[in-house]
Chains A and B, each alone.
Chain A
Amino acid sequence: MARTISRAIAVLAALAIVLGACTGTTSGGPSSSAATGAKAAYGGSVTFAMNSDISNMDPMLSGLFVDRHLMYAMYDSLVRVTPKGEIIPWLSALPTVSGDGKSYTFKLRTDVKYHDGTTLDAESVKWNLDRYRLTKESLRLGELAPVDSVTVVDPSTVRVDLKTASAPFLSVLVDRSGMMLSRKTVEAGGADFTRKAFNAGSGPFILTEAVKDDHYAFKKNPDWWGKAANGDKLPYLDQVIIKPITDGDVRLTNVRTGQVQATNAVTGKDVPTVKGDNTLVYQEIAGVGYNSLVPNRAPSFIFNEKRYIQAVDLAMDRAELLAKGPAQGVGVVAYGPYAPSHFAYDPGFKPFEKPDVAAAKKLVADVGKGPLKFELLVSSGDAATLQFAQLLKAQLEKADITMDIKTLLFNEIVTLQQQHKHPGMTLIGWSGRIDPDGNTYDFNYTGRPNNDSAYSNKEVDSLLDQTRTATDAAKRKDLFLKAQQIFVVDDPSRVFYSFNAAQLLTAKAIQGFSVFPDQLPRFETVWVQK
């Protein structure tokens, strides 16, 4: 699930949009951004640890962030993006878009075969997109909702017609909604396909073994189409093994003892340790996911009163939460949903930079109903989340705000907030999307599925509608910032407090492994120094 209730480690790991294994060229295909100068060596094996097990290998049914660790090794998507958010060609060239913004034409590569030997062509692309958008249980229905029809123009050309112009449409095709699978293998797999997706993809690695809760093994796809910037045929590695290790300490111990050579989830408290370990290389960049408190704004709930939310905004000390909380300084302080890597980011937007206890007290007093007291629901059992909640509780106490911590099971919190029945606030991380729309629309637009705070503001709705039809980036940025001023400051929908960091920890011998804002590993450019 890309939506997590701040199980802090998971949230740190959770960044949801795909950024290509590419450094911003528009020529398409992968290229190693780690230009070490050394000649890359072929062969070898890398074992990678992720922070929990996958649920599903079928992009149509996958609802967990972790699932995508495997998908990037075994599947290709129509397009991908660079770390900067530029969409680049992958299986297809960049589409040509009609003047009204409603028709996209994709010209496909002609040298791509699935691992089962069938050819990736226009028919196959149409079958995949139709499967994602027309199957009743598909979890891609929302992302592909703007699509009206998919047409095969010729064996290497596909046209997608939209119901209305949609600025963020292309950005969904970089991930699961744009991943291409072999029809033959999917249909042969039937109900077991979700766990045994052998030979279904066309990606740089071929899944050979899948042992739930233990490991997933991949071998090199010798016929992959991708080439490195220097002309090397990719991938370099003979084998990739991905292991789920949920416990942060066990994960780190595995890396430090050499059982595992790479991971993308390092707990904040361990970052100084790994930085000081000269057998390891630690990389960290800013992500696109944010962490927030979600008040219930529905009538009859305490946070229907917006001044109470503003009081919490004013009373909390975001810098201390980031530095002294579980993140231990890993990440960036947030005030709204747009991270530094978003085009809509405004570095000057710092509405609650320093805690202002007096102002918070005044707002509560203005409401005139006595001291503010509310419940924060947190997922039970996760120590880092509890540390965060207890630190926040201590901060709010300084402004005479009483926040009771209530631990519940994850599922119960999800249920309560989807039905807008949580009494006070919940802690939620959003894994983030590279297009600001993916961090905004469904969370703040009246009645949308991820609008867990039951927020409704007509002006925000109107501004967000305009961001979808506007095609000019500057115009869209202006609209996003206008909306942000409202749903963060004037009439808050949430309390934003930090952006995630994307991490990558590797053993020294591992080369060509780049960190992307979405946290997902790309193995095609990785090689092992002999």
Chain B
Amino acid sequence: MTTYILRRLLLMIPVALLVTIGIFVIIRIAPGDPVRTYAGENPDEATIAAVRTQLGLDQPLPIQYAAWLSRAVQGDLGRSFQTKQRVVEAIAERLPVTFELGAAALLISVTVALVVGVISAVKRNSVIDLVTTSVTLAGVSFPNFYLGLLLILLFAYVVPGHLLPPGGWTPFATDPGDNLRRLILPAITIATASLAVNLRQVRSSLLDVFGQDYVRTARAKGLRERAVVVRHALKNALIPVVTIIGIQVGAIIEGAIITETIFFIPGIGRLAVQAIPSQDYPIVQGVVLVSALSFMLSTLAVDILYAFLDPRISFGGVEA
């Protein structure tokens, strides 16, 4: 087990290198020149050259990367071109916001998926099954930026009393009540997009378990259906659900990008969306590195958890 975890952690190094080299190159291919937008209103060529040197953009690409990497391994991701804020600090400020938003979305999505998924699997191919799967499928098919806009307008103009604010953020520590009110609409927006995937996973893994011998046996013994589902099937069906939650980390970062933009929440997704078109290289590199690392670590965590839940899985070979 320890060997397995170590090997997985080692494998992350080349992947992280590839990711950072990839983003380093891609953002520098973009045709605009960031120096010209950060050099002020009336930049003459001398100012532009001075700013270019100051930002370190006059060096050849491999040297720029080596310089960035050597600082990055010491925990220094540079400073934003635009705001001069330290990238580490910018990310540290925003990560908790995105994390809270993501956790809330995941909670909503998984809870609904479990409840509806069980009903749907028990009553397979019934009208209820068809309706619930179709409705959640509709949810995943709805462009989530459009859903977010409609939710904002719904609570601003249709539902009286301004129950939920049209965006913005209050940290939990400042005002827990306001924090939760501001959390609801964006969390629903993100959750809707992943609901169908989670539901499908719960449903199909339950159906899979229903086919297993021990469930048949339980049924044959005359156990009540509810007992079969809760005591035998659900427990085993949860294993793949854990996997899907791991995969959702990626999906939540995706959801956060759009949702934070619409609801105007100071999270990491919004940071990335603004930094790419404005060519704020250090910010983009930092955000991509951090989100790639969190994705890989959460995948690893899920695999380990998976092993604890299902002793049949061994970590002998390289993962398939």
Interface residues of A (CB under 8 A from B): 1-3, 55-56, 61, 63, 136-137, 139, 141-143, 191-192, 194-195, 211-214, 243, 245-247, 249-250, 253-254, 256-259, 408-415, 418, 442, 448-450
- A449 & B44 in contact (Cβ 8 Å cutoff): yes
Q: Are B30 and A409 in contact (CB under 8 A)?
A: yes
What's the least CB distance linking B184 to chain A, in Å? Answer: 16
Interface contact B30-A411, CB-CB below 8 Å: yes
For B51, the chain A residues whose CB sits under 8 A away are 137
Interface residues of B (CB under 8 A from A): 30-34, 36-44, 47, 50-51, 54, 79, 82-86, 90, 93, 149, 152-153, 156-157, 162, 165-169, 262, 264, 266, 270-271, 274, 277-279
28 residue pairs of the A-B complex, CB under 8 angstroms, read A137-B54, A142-B40, A191-B84, A192-B86, A195-B83, A211-B93, A213-B274, A214-B169, A245-B167, A253-B153, A254-B167, A256-B156, A409-B31, A409-B32, A409-B277, A410-B32, A410-B37, A411-B32, A411-B34, A411-B36, A411-B277, A411-B279, A413-B32, A414-B33, A415-B31, A415-B36, A449-B42, A450-B42
Among residues of A, the one whose C-beta sits closest to the C-beta of B260 is A213
* Cβ A212 vs Cβ B83 within 8 A: yes
Q: Is the CB of B152 within 8 A of A212?
A: no
Q: Which B residues lie within 8 Å of A250 (CB)?
A: 152, 166-167, 262, 264
Residues on B with C-beta less than 8 A from A191 are 79, 84
User: Can you add 7 more A-B contacts, CB < 8 Å, to A3-B41, A137-B51?
Assistant: A1-B41, A194-B85, A214-B266, A243-B168, A247-B264, A257-B166, A410-B277
Interface contact B42-A412, CB-CB below 8 Å: no
> Complex formed: what's the CA distance from A415 to B85 in Å?
24
Q: How far is the CA of A409 from the CA of B275 in the complex (A)?
A: 12
Contact B166 A253 (CB under 8 A): yes
Q: Given contacts A253-B152, A254-B167, are A63 and B40 in contact (CB under 8 A)?
A: yes
Instruction: Pick the contact of B38: A63, A142, A257 (CB < 8 A).
Output: A63
For residue A410, which residues in chain B have a CB less than 8 angstroms away from its CB? 32, 37, 277-278
Taking a contact as CB atoms under 8 Å apart, the answer to whether A55 and B82 are in contact is: yes
- The binding surface of chain A is classed by DSSP as loop
Q: Is the CB of B262 within 8 A of A142?
A: no
Q: Which residues of B contact A450 (CB under 8 A)?
A: 41-42
The 5 closest A-B pairs by CB, nearest first: A411-B32, A139-B40, A412-B32, A213-B266, A142-B42
Given A213-B266, A409-B32, are A2 and B41 neighbors across the interface (CB < 8 Å)? Answer: yes
**Structural contact, A195 and B85, CB atoms closer than 8 A:** yes
Chain A residues whose CB sits within 8 angstroms of the CB of B270 once the complex forms: 213
* Distance of A212 Cα from B91 Cα, bound (Å): 11
Contact B152 A56 (CB under 8 A): no
Q: Contact check, A139 vs B93: say whether CB atoms are below 8 A apart.
A: no
A211 touching B266 in the complex, CB below 8 Å, given contacts A250-B152, A256-B156: yes
Among A139, A247, A256, the residue within 8 A (CB) of B39 is A139
* A180 CB to nearest chain B CB (Å): 20
Whether the pair A259, B168 counts as a contact (CB closer than 8 A) is yes
Q: Which residue of B lies closest to A55 (CB)?
A: B82
Contact B168 A254 (CB under 8 A): yes
Considering the complex, give the chain A residue whose CB is closest to the CB of B155: A257
Q: Say yes or no: A247 contacts B262, CB within 8 Å.
A: yes
Q: How far is the CA of A78 from the CA of B34 in the complex (A)?
A: 33
Docked-complex contact A63 and B30, CB < 8 angstroms = no
Name the residue on A nearest B35 (C-beta).
A415
In the assembled complex, how far is the CB of residue B223 from the closest CB belonging to chain A, in whole angstroms? 54
How far apart sit A400 and B97, CA to CA, in the bound complex (Å)?
A: 54
Distance from B171 Cβ to chain A, minimum over Cβ atoms (Å): 9
Q: Is the CB of B166 within 8 A of A254?
A: yes
Q: Is the CB of A245 within 8 A of B42?
A: no
The answer to whether B30 and A412 have CB atoms under 8 Å apart is yes
Q: Which residues of A lie under 8 Å from residue B153 when comparing CB positions?
A: 253
When distances are taken between beta carbons in the complex, the residues of chain B under 8 Å from A418 are: 36, 43
On chain B, the residues within 8 Å of A254 by CB distance are 166-168
| A55 B83 Cβ-Cβ under 8 A | yes
What's the nearest-Cβ distance from chain B to residue A92, in Å?
A: 24
Whether A257 contacts B165 by the Cβ 8 Å rule is yes
Give the shortest distance, in Å, between A248 (CB) and chain B (any CB).
12
Complex contact B84–A195 (CB within 8 A): yes
Chain A residues whose C-beta falls within 8 Å of the C-beta of B266 in the assembled complex: 211-214
Tell me if B41 and A212 are in contact (CB < 8 A): no
Query: Is B41 a contact partner of A56 (Cβ separation < 8 A)?
Result: no
User: Measured between alpha carbons, how far is A69 from B36 in the docked complex, in Å?
Assistant: 23
Closest to B44 in A: A449
Check if A137 sits within 8 Å of B83, measured CB to CB. no
A137 pairs with B50, CB closer than 8 A: yes
Chain B residues with Cβ below 8 Å from A1 are: 37, 40-41
With CB as the reference atom, state the residue of chain B lying closest to A139.
Answer: B40
In the assembled complex, how far is the CB of residue A496 from the closest CB belonging to chain B, in whole angstroms?
A: 19
Q: Please, which residues of chain B bring their CB within 8 A of the CB of A212?
A: 83, 85, 90, 93, 266
- Whether A411 touches B33, Cβ cut-off 8 Å, given contacts A56-B83, A136-B50, A142-B41, is yes
List chain A residues, Cβ under 8 A from B167. Answer: 245, 250, 253-254
Give Cα A84 to B168, complex, Å.
37
Tell which of B43, B86, B153 has the most Cβ of chain A within 10 Å. B43
**Measured CA separation A63–B157 after assembly (Å):** 37
Which residues of chain A are within 8 angstroms of B264 by Cβ–Cβ distance? 213, 245-247, 250
Residues of B within 8 A of A442 (CB): 42
Kindly name the residue among A139, A211, A410 whose own CB sees the greatest number of chain B CB atoms within 10 A.
A139
Q: Given the complex of chains A and B, what is the CA–CA distance between A411 and B266 in angstroms?
A: 23
Q: How far, in angstroms, from A450 to B86 measured CA to CA in the complex?
A: 31
Chain B hits for A259, CB < 8 A = 165-166, 168
CA distance A195 to B89 in the complex (A): 12
Within 8 Å CB of A195, what residues of B?
83-85
Chain B contacts for A245, CB-based, 8 A? 167-168, 264
Chain B minimum-CB-distance residue to A58: B84
- Is A214 within 8 A of B168, CB to CB? yes
Q: What is the chain A residue whose CB lies nearest that of B33?
A: A415
